[in-house]
């Protein structure tokens, strides 16, 4: 049975640094247990800040980077060199600074890539990438990702799955194209909630008062159609990593003193 845990940090900087420290520990433990690990990255300010903190960590090379599979939970469907690309931001923050195996970095296609300006083709291709990396133990066409990092929006989106959007109703496909996204850029590629739930651990990382309502609603049982982040659960563990501001509407969790 999956467990849900909430940890609150005094501020956004401590949240990012502590999440990076958690990543080192968890990835090293997973690699010790099975020789490799898989990590799904997210876009957004908190997600990228965690990667920057991981790059700066003196413990980072305890991770065997050569045996780490990197995926994305979503991507902006823009040209490869656009500053809006989650991949570009992740490479600048971390990926280009550690000795990853390039064959194990699974990028979602840009809008000027091999699929041209066709987000449906790019989404279908990424679903194939997931299926080709899923093993018999995964019971399906999506790997059991060891850690999936996710952010969330104030209205409850996660990855690029937005409230009452076509993506939130998707039950068959693992990856979909998202159009007219309320958060720019408008066209994206995203894992669906069923694919997100294939992760062993889902870490929901967010900061700021603007997220406090969505956090409180998600943790009090809101439905995923109106609040997609409520449907982002790991089948082993769901971990909420928050700063005090994002946890501001929670009553039953420990709040550390303001740092
Ligand atoms: O590509 C994206 O935009 C992200 O995947 C998105 O889901 C993000 O994580 C949230 O919108 C939170 O973003 P902030 O951390 O910047 O608030």
Give me the tens of pLDDT residue by residue for the chain, a chain 259 residues long: 689 999 999 999 999 999 999 999 999 999 999 999 999 999 999 999 999 999 999 999 999 999 999 999 999 999 999 999 999 999 999 999 999 999 999 999 999 999 999 999 999 999 999 999 999 989 889 999 999 999 999 999 999 999 999 999 999 999 999 999 999 999 999 999 999 999 999 999 999 999 999 999 999 999 999 999 999 999 999 999 999 999 999 988 888 888 7
The domains found in the chain, sorted by start residue, are 3-243 (3.40.50.1360)
How far apart are the CA of 153 and the centre of ligand 1, in A?
6
The residues, any chain, with a CB within 8 Å of residue 196's CB and separated by 6 or more, are: 73, 148, 150, 158, 159, 161, 202, 231, 232, 233
* Nearest ligand 1 atom, CA 211: 17
Cα 34 to ligand 1 centroid, rounded to whole Å: 31
Query: What was the ipTM of the complex prediction?
Result: 0.98
pTM score, whole prediction: 0.98
Q: How many CB atoms lie within 10 A of CB 88?
A: 19
Residue 190 CB less than 6 A away from ligand 1: no
Q: Residue 60 contacts by C-beta under 8 Å, 6 or more apart in sequence?
A: 24, 54, 98
pLDDT at 255: 85
Q: Which atom of ligand 1 is nearest to the CA of 75?
A: 1
Distance CA 246, CA 57 (A): 25
Q: With a 6 A CB cut-off, is 158 part of the ligand 1 pocket?
A: yes
- The per-residue pLDDT for 220 is 96
Q: How does DSSP assign the chain, residue by residue? A: --EEEEEEESSHHHHHHHHHHHHHHHHHHHHHHHS-EEEEE--SHHHHHHHHHHHH-TTGGGS-GGGEEEEESEEE-S-TT-TT-HHHHHHHHTGGGS---GGGB-PPPPTTSTTTT-HHHHHHHHHHHHHHT--GGG-SSS---SEEEE---TTS-BTTB-TTSGGGG--S-SEEEE-S-SSSSS-EEEE-HHHHTT-SEEEEEE-SGGGHHHHHHHHTT--TTT-GGGG---SSEEEEEEETTTTTT-SSS--PPP-
- Closest C-alpha to ligand 1, atom 8: 44
Atom of ligand 1 nearest to the CA of 86: 1
111 lines ligand 1 (CB under 6 A): no
DSSP class per residue in 10-70: SSHHHHHHHHHHHHHHHHHHHHHHHS-EEEEE--SHHHHHHHHHHHH-TTGGGS-GGGEEE
The pLDDT value recorded for residue 254 is 82
For ligand 1, what atom is nearest to the CA of residue 158? 7
Q: Is 228 in the pocket of ligand 1 (CB under 6 A)?
A: no
Answer whether 74 contacts ligand 1 (Cβ < 6 A): yes
Q: What are the residues whose beta carbons fall under 8 Å from the beta carbon of 96, sequence distance 6 or more? A: none
pLDDT at 174: 98
Question: What was the pLDDT predicted at 29?
Answer: 98
At 52 the pLDDT is 98
- In this structure, are strands 237-243 and 3-9 parallel, antiparallel, or unpaired? parallel
**Cα–Cα dist 25/173, whole Å:** 32
Dihedral angle at the C-alpha atoms of 138, 142, 143, 147, nearest 10 degrees? Answer: -120
């Amino acid at each position: 049975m999956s467990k849900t845990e909430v940890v609150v940090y005094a501020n956004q900087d401590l949240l990012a640094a502590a999440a990076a420290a958690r990543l080192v520990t968890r990835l090293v433990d997973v690699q010790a247990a099975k020789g490799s690990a898989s990590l799904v990255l997210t876009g957004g300010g908190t997600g990228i800040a965690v990667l920057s903190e991981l790059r700066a960590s003196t413990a980072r090379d305890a991770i065997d980077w050569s045996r780490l599979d990197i995926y994305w939970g979503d991507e902006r469907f823009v040209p490869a060199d656009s500053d809006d690309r989650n991949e570009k931001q992740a490479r600048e923050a971390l990926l280009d600074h550690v000795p990853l195996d390039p064959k194990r970095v699974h990028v979602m296609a840009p809008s000027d890539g091999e699929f041209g300006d066709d987000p449906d083709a790019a989404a279908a291709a990424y679903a194939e990438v997931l299926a080709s990396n899923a093993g018999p133990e995964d019971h399906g066409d999506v790997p059991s990702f060891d850690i999936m990092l996710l952010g969330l929006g104030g209205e409850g989106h996660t990855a690029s799955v937005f409230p009452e959007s076509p993506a939130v109703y998707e039950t068959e496909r693992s990856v979909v194209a998202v159009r007219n996204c309320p958060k720019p850029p408008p066209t994206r590629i995203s894992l669906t909630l069923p694919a997100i739930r294939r992760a062993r651990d889902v870490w929901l990382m967010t900061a700021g008062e603007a997220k406090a309502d969505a956090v409180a609603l998600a943790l009090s049982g809101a439905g995923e159609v109106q609040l997609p982040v409520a449907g982002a659960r790991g089948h082993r563990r769901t971990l909420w990593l928050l700063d005090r501001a994002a946890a501001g509407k929670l009553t039953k969790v420990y709040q550390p003193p303001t740092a």
